[in-house]
Structure 1
Amino acid sequence: MDSQDTAFTIQKRDFIAGLEKGLAVIEAFDQQQSRLSMTEVAQRTGLTRAAARRYLLTLTQLGYVSYDGRMFSLAPKVLRLGQSYMHSARLPRIVHPQLHKLAHTLQEASSAGVLDASDVLCVAATTAGRIVSATLQPGTRVPAYCTANGRVLLAALPQEKVDAWLDQQTLHALTSYTVTNKERLRIEIARARSLGYATVDQELEPGLRTLSVPLKNLRGDTVAALNVSVHAARMSINDLQERCLPALLQAQAQIRNLL
């Protein structure tokens, strides 16, 4: 099991706050805000402007951040951090062959993700020539509440943790289909737990339909989720389940023996 699946607490004296803040500065940049001013970084991280300046300048000196004299942005060297995970972690290496097999069989896009706070983080993906969403690539983050991967991952949590997670969320309507009522979302998560899979119909993006199953290890712990994504114009929800669920369940069983 990867370290992200295990709760871990250290002594306060062993915690390096500076490292935490430096990583927070890197995480402040995203697809919506790829270029930030010093003040914007401070606002996004909760740092003072002076502290944000020091971290940004240090990261610039180390080659992880670029500065054009006015705005800061991440430099290509940041890819080394993600590349280290992709090359060394067991989960992507185990899932990749099954993803490609699944995509080849179904001729549909497929991805695997893990729960990271409020989001699902994609750790592996293949399009099979079907470009249905820009989110289907390693490293992308999507909200857990409106994605099939997110719902099966949340369904694996004890109910008290699901309730605590929901209490912390602000649910935005990303499309006209997005479930934003917490009680209804609670029901959808419970349904995913009961069925062993989840379907989401155009809640993240218009036209995007997704079917997901949990990936469990031999102990029965859910460590990730695996999905198939299709365009709504080509396949109905019923067809998605009938055509793709058997192949997903087969991949689920094969991966379980390796986790």
Structure 2
Amino acid sequence: MDTPFTIQKRDFIAGLDKGLSVIEAFDQEQSRLSMTEVAQRTGLTRAAARRYLLTLTQLGYVTYDGRMFSLSAKVLRLGQSYFHSARLPRIVHPQLHKLAHTLQEASSAGVLDAADVICIAATTAGRVVSATLQPGSRVPAYCTANGRVLLASLPQERVDAWLDQQSLDALTPHTVTNKDRLRIEIARARAQGYASVDQELELGLRTISVPLKNLRGDTLAAINVSVHAARMTMADLQERCLPALMQAQSQIRNLL
């Protein structure tokens, strides 16, 4: 995981920060937004939101139908630039492909971004168990196996600060929403070196994950195997998939 980096105030371009926040205001639940809604989501004034939206429209990143704004396909260039240039996805993907086809189960890799885990590589091996298992998708860190092993790599004070900022929603009847219990689950992941989650993100989805560390011991990402609950118990998931995950973890570590 990236080390926190702080620059001097004079080097910080606030306009870029605000422009990116406007792009991030759009999501799956709200793909079309009014000027007022963008202002509310970003904390900008309506006048400022208007200028940023019109600028992004002029640049081709946003479309406007006369009433509502939406992101255009050009935004994909930003993500494609990462996938085409970043070393981590290129290293991880072949190993994920091998892992998934060995187990005949879906596998993905993710990195921590604030409250979420962003998928940077994924393969299904013909088993589609969740729409979240695709590059670029975001899932909450608190209720996912990748999220818990990534959080487990942080110092405890950062974990505590992270938990203080979270609102833990019950996405399924199985979701852990008590912060003290979640703190225990993160500590367990740290102690045992892996995390397993049973239908906390989606009903029917069971996942087991291990961290990806470089030779210095820094956690850069996490990889998982996901299965459908109707086909595999949690005990079987651990017995069958954890050894293969750990083998992939070791192979990737030598490449990082």
Query: Which one of the candidate residues 25, 31, 37 is aligned to 1:34?
Result: 31
Secondary structure of 2:142 counterpart: helix
1:186 matched residue in structure 2: 183
**Are residues 1:123 and 2:112 paired?**
no
CA distance in 2, matches of 1:164, 1:10: 21
Shift of 1:87: 0.4
1:174 aligns with 2:171: yes
Partner amino acid, structure 2, of 1:6:
T
| Cα displacement (A) at 1:127 | 1.0
Which of 67, 71, 79 is equivalent to 2:68?
A: 71
Q: How big is the shift at 1:9?
A: 1.3
% identical equivalent positions = 87
Match of 1:124, SS state, is strand
Alignment partners' CA distance in 2, 1:120 and 1:252: 18
Where in structure 1 are there 5+ consecutive unaligned residues? none
The alignment status of 1:102 with 2:99, answered yes or no, reads: yes
Q: TM-score, normalised by structure 1?
A: 0.98
- Normalised to the residue count of structure 2, the TM-score between the two structures is 0.99
Q: Which residue of 2 aligns with 1:217?
A: 214
Deviation for aligned residue 1:7: 2.0
AA of the residue aligned to 1:14: D
Shift of 1:6: 2.5
Amino acid aligned to 1:245? L
Give me the CA root mean square deviation: 0.7
Alpha-carbon displacement from aligned partner over 1:136-188 (angstroms, at most 9, x marks no partner): 01111110000000000000011111111111111000000000000100110
TM-superposed deviation, 1:10: 1.1
* Segments ≥4 residues shifted beyond 6 Å: none
1:189-242 deviation digits (Å, cap 9, x = unpaired) = 011011100000000000000000000000001110000000101111001111
| Corresponding position of 2:138 | 141
Name the CA distance, whole Å, in 2 between partners of 1:124 and 1:48: 37
Supply the AA of the counterpart residue of 2:102.
T
Q: 1:92 aligns with which of 84, 89, 93?
A: 89
1: CA distance between counterparts of 2:135 and 2:122? Answer: 6
**2:107 aligned counterpart, secondary structure:** strand
- Pick one of 193, 196, 199 that aligns with 1:202: 199
Q: Which amino acid aligns with 2:46?
A: R
Is 2:129 aligned against 1:111? no
Q: Which amino acid aligns with 1:215?
A: L
Amino acid at match of 2:2: D
Alignment equivalent of 2:230, drawn from 207, 228, 233:
233
Per mean C-alpha deviation after superposition, the further-off stretch among 188-197 and 7-16 is 7-16
Amino acid at match of 2:51: R
- Supply the distance in 2 between the matched residues of 1:54 and 1:166 (Cα, whole angstroms): 35
Q: Partners of 2:126 and 2:241 in 1: how far apart?
A: 17
Residue identity opposite 2:194 in structure 1: Y
Q: Distance in 1 between matches of 2:125 and 2:30?
A: 29
